[in-house]
Amino acid sequence: MLILLTNDDGIYAPGIRALEEELLKIAEVRVVAPATEQSGVGHSITFLRPLVPKQVYDAQDRLRGWAVDGSPADCVKLGIFEFCDRPPDLVVSGINGGLNAGINVLYSGTVAAAIEGAFFGITSIACSLEFHEHAQYRKAAVMCRGVIEQILANKGPEPVLYNLNIPTAATEREQNEIKVVPMGVARYGEHFAKGVDPKGRTYYWATNDPPPRHEGYETDITEIERGFLTLTPLQYNMTRHAMLAEMEKWPLQVPPT
C-alpha cells in the first residue's frame, strides 16, 4: 500500500513526522508537504507563479519527501502526479496542531488536502490534534494509525473522505472512545482584537473564540468537549439537491439586453 502524506503545518512540523513514523509500519509513505506553515489557507491552489519543490532528507541522509512552496492542495496534486511512482492508495493529511472541527473544516488547509485527494478518487483522511503547548503527537499518531487501519478494514470499495479529531484529554489516558458524528455548523469566531501598530496603523486580529457549547444534538464539537475522538465522513459536492429540484420548476428567464 502506498500512502501520500501531507499537512498544512509544514513538512518540518512535529505532527507530520510522528504520523510518518507510524504509517511506515503499515505502508510505503511519500511525504509531500508545504515548506512553510499554511494554516487557514483552505482550498487555495497556486496559479500565478511556478511551484518549486525541494527534496528533504532525514538524519540518516535518506529522502523523506518534498517540501513545496505552495498550499496543501498544491502538495497533493504534485504528489499524485509527479512524486508517486503509482497512484497512492490513501491520502493522509496531518497531524495538524489544532482541531479542525465544526465550521473550521471550511477554512482548514489540512482538510482541503484530504479533499484534494478525494477529488481524484482516493480515500483520504484529515487528522487533527487539539492545540496544546505540550501536545503528545506520538500518542496521537498511534491513535491515527489505528483508526486508519479500521477505516480500511471496514469501508466499502468506493473512496470516502474522512475527518478525524483528537482532543488533548484523549492523549492523557490509556482507554478512549471514538464517536462517528456530523460536523457542527453553529456560527462562531466572529470577534477581532483591535489595536494600533508601532506605525500608528489600526489593525484587527482575529481572536480564537471558543466554539458554541451545544447545538441541540451530537456533533464533532460537542463530543470533543466530552473528551471523545470524533470521526466524520465528509463530501465536497456542495449542490443542494432538494433546492435544485424545486428551482427546476421556476419560470426563470433571461431579461432582454
Each residue's pLDDT tens digit, 22-76:
999 999 999 999 999 999 899 999 999 999 999 999 888 989 999 999 999 999 9
* CB distance 162 to 231 below 8 Å: yes
Could you tell me if residue 253 is inside a domain? no
Between CA 116 and CA 137 the distance in angstroms is: 24
Mean pLDDT, rounded, for 116-130: 98
Confidence band for 163, pLDDT divided at 50, 70 and 90: very high
Number of domains in the chain: 1
Phi-psi region of 56 (alpha: psi -120 to 50; beta: other; left: phi over 0): beta
Q: Which residue has the cell 478525494?
A: 118
Q: What is the domain extent for residue 125?
A: 2-187+213-247
Confidence band for 19, pLDDT divided at 50, 70 and 90: very high
- Judged against a pLDDT cut of 80, whether residue 187 lies above it is answered with no
Handedness of CA 131, 137, 139, 141 (dihedral sign): positive
Could you tell me if residue 254 is inside a domain? no
Residue 12 has, within 13 A of its CA and on its CB side, a CA count of 8
Query: In CATH, what number is assigned to the domain containing residue 90?
Result: 3.40.1210.10
Could you tell me if residue 151 is inside a domain? yes
Could you tell me if residue 257 is inside a domain? no
Could you tell me if residue 164 is inside a domain? yes
**Average per-residue pLDDT for the chain:** 94
Provide the whole-model pTM: 0.93
